[in-house]
Amino acid sequence: MTKNYGFRPDIENPDDYILGGSSPLPLEVLQASGDWTPHLPLKEFQNLNAIEPYACVAFTILNCVEILIKRKYGEDTNWSDRFLAAISGTKEGGNSPNVVCEFLRKVGVVPQEVWPFDSSITSFEKFYEPIPEAVKELAKEFNEKWIFKYENVPLHLIDVALTYSPLLVSVPAWFEKDGYYYRPDGMQDNHATTYIKKGFEYRLVFDSYDSELKRVHVSVNPQTIKRFWIEKRTNNLKQQISILQQIAALYQRIIDLILSSKIGRVIGAWFDAGAWGAVRGPLWSKTKREYAKIHPKVCPFCKTTKKIELHHIFPYHLFPQYENSFWNLVWACRDCHFKFCHHLDWSAFNPNVLEDIKWYKEKIENRQYEKTELIIELIGRLEKSRP
Residues 180 and 265 in one domain: no
In this prediction, residue 237 has a pLDDT band, given cuts at 50, 70 and 90, of low
- How many residues belong to the chain? 387
Q: Cβ contacts of residue 257 below 8 Å, gap of 6+?
A: 264
CA distance 172 to 7: 10
SS3 state of residue 42: coil
Beta carbons of 108 and 141 less than 8 angstroms apart: yes
| Structure-model confidence comparison of residues 289 and 264, the more confident one | 289
The closest of 156, 181, 193 to 67, measured between CA atoms, is 193
Domain that holds residue 183: 37-232
The helix/strand/coil state of 158 is helix
Element (H, E) at 143: helix 133-145
- β-strand 308-312 against 191-198: which pairing, if any? unpaired
Task: Check if the beta carbon of residue 328 is closer than 8 Å to that of residue 314.
Answer: yes
Least confident of 29-33, 287-291, 375-379: 375-379
> How far is it, in rounded angstroms, from Cα 380 to Cα 366?
27
- What CA–CA distance (Å, rounded) separates 55 from 7? 8
Residues 313, 212 share a domain: no
Question: pLDDT by residue (tens digit) across 257-279?
Answer: 665 555 555 555 454 444 434 56
Dump pLDDT digits (tens) for 55-109: 999 999 999 999 999 999 999 999 999 999 999 999 988 999 999 999 999 999 9
Q: What is the mean pLDDT of residues 205-233?
A: 94
Q: Which amino acid is at 44?
A: E
State the DSSP string of 242-290.
HHHHHHHHHHHHHHHHHHHSHHHHHHHHHHHHSS--PPPPTTHHHHHHH
Q: Residue 181 has what pLDDT?
A: 96
How many domains does one find in the chain? 2
Burial class (CB within 10 angstroms; exposed 0-12, middle 13-18, buried 19+) of 341: buried
Q: What is the 3-state secondary structure (H, E, C) of 51-119?
A: CCCCCHHHHHHHHHHHHHHHHHHCCCCCECHHHHHHHCCCECCEECHHHHHHHHHHCCCCECCCCCCCC
Whole-number CA gyration radius for the chain: 39
Same domain membership, residue 148 and residue 207: yes
pLDDT tens column, 143-200: 999 999 999 999 999 999 999 999 999 999 999 999 999 999 999 999 999 999 999 9
Whether 185 is in a domain gets the answer: yes
| One-letter amino acid of 130 | P
Q: How confident is the model at residue 372 (pLDDT cuts 50, 70, 90)?
A: low
The C-alpha atoms of residue 331 and residue 311 are separated, in whole angstroms, by 6
Domain annotation covers residue 31: no
DSSP secondary structure letter of residue 178: T
With beta carbons less than 8 A apart as the criterion, state whether 87 and 104 touch.
no
Residue 254, domain member (yes or no): yes
Same domain, 309 and 162: no
- Out of 212, 232, 252, pick the residue that ends a domain: 232
Task: Give the confidence band of 47 by pLDDT, cuts at 50, 70, 90.
Answer: confident
**Residues 194, 265 share a domain:** no
Q: Are residues 52 and 169 in the same domain?
A: yes
- Say whether both 163 and 219 belong to one domain: yes
Indicate whether 268 and 356 sit together in one domain. yes
